[in-house]
């Protein structure tokens, strides 16, 4: 049995709600979130696999926790006409006065499943000890920056026919020629397929014709792409890798300066 808990804390770390139990629990929080609120999840059996839902309007996240306490900041910006912090989430996320939050220990059979190893709907820029996690050396800035944050590429949303608003969030590279992203798995995984869904809001968007993926085992693969709204699918066999990096992205000779990535998917299983 794993001992787990969920709590809501305010900006001064004051406790606003809490529940604890064994293996599987839920918290129904009956207040509007305030700026600075955060969710705190604890688990006494780490490292380990857990299923966490941070909001009733979001999918569950299958994550690998390497630390016993996880702080998740509530995206919030009251009074902003763009609702800036929540702009890359479903409009119902974290809104209203009734919130459904859950955590449970993953079952043995779930840990053996074939899945998208990169997907983590609850990833955020400052995440520590919660995997998979994605980071990048470049992100498009500006008034709607979260809409182009790198976390968007592992949120499981594949809509790529526009660039604004949700569900068309993506990774914008700020027109950097050296832009790259890294997906960290936090443990060894075995993969057999990589899928890249590039944004396809033509003619607003451009596209990449080539990229290079590097793996934690020291190997690399050159990826050739074209102008397409469909996922670019690559059969790549790797065992026991802990991260991969996508970079050396070469833009097409196209007037638009805006190539972007909607989703990166890595299919396989946890290493045994």
Going residue by residue through the chain, which has 272 residues, state the pLDDT in tens, using 9 for 90 and above.
Answer: 899 999 999 999 999 999 999 999 999 999 999 999 999 999 999 999 999 999 999 999 999 999 999 999 998 755 454 456 788 999 999 999 999 999 999 999 999 999 999 999 999 998 999 999 999 999 999 888 999 999 999 999 999 999 999 999 999 999 999 999 999 999 999 999 999 999 999 999 999 999 999 999 999 999 999 999 999 999 999 999 999 999 999 999 999 999 999 999 999 999 99
222/159 same-domain check:
yes
Say how many domains are in the chain: 2
Residue count (the chain): 272
Same domain, 239 and 183: yes
List of long-range contacts for 175-179, beta carbons under 8 Å, 24+ apart: 175/257, 175/258, 176/137, 176/138, 177/249, 178/137, 178/138, 178/247, 179/136, 179/137, 179/138, 179/247, 179/249
Do 38 and 19 lie in a common domain?
A: yes
Task: Clarify whether residues 146 and 172 are in a common domain.
Answer: yes
- H or E stretch including 111? helix 108-111
Examine the domain organization and report whether 65 and 105 are in the same domain.
yes
* The model's pTM: 0.96
Do 98 and 171 lie in a common domain? no
Are 130 and 208 part of one and the same domain?
Answer: yes
Q: Are residues 42 and 159 in the same domain?
A: no
Tell me the two tokens of residue 203: 């003619």
């Amino acid at each position: 049995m794993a001992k787990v808990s969920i709590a809501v804390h305010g900006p001064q770390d004051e406790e606003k709600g809490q529940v604890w139990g064994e293996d599987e629990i839920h918290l129904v929080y009956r207040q509007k979130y305030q700026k600075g609120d955060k969710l705190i999840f604890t688990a006494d059996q780490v490292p380990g696999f857990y299923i966490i839902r941070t909001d009733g309007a979001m999918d569950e996240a299958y994550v690998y926790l390497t630390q016993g306490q996880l702080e998740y900041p509530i995206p919030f910006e009251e009074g902003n006409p763009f609702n800036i912090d929540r702009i890359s989430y479903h409009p119902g996320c974290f809104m209203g006065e009734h919130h459904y939050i859950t955590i449970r220990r993953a079952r043995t059979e779930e840990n053996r499943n074939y899945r998208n190893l990169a997907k983590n709907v609850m990833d955020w820029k400052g995440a520590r000890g919660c995997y998979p996690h994605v980071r990048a050396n470049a992100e498009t800035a500006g008034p709607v920056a979260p809409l182009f944050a790198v976390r968007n590429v592992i949120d499981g949303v594949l809509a790529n026919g526009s660039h604004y608003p949700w569900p068309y969030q993506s990774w914008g590279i700020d027109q950097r020629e050296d832009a790259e992203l890294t997906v960290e798995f936090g443990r060894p995984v075995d993969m057999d397929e990589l899928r890249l869904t590039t944004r396809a809001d033509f003619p607003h968007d451009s596209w990449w014709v080539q990229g290079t993926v590097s793996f934690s085992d020291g190997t690399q693969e050159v990826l050739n792409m074209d102008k397409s709204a469909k996922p670019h699918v690559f059969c790549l066999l790797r065992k026991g890798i802990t991260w991969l990096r996508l970079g050396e992205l070469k833009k097409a000779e196209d007037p638009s300066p805006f190539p972007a990535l909607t989703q990166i998917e890595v299919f396989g299983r946890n290493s045994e």
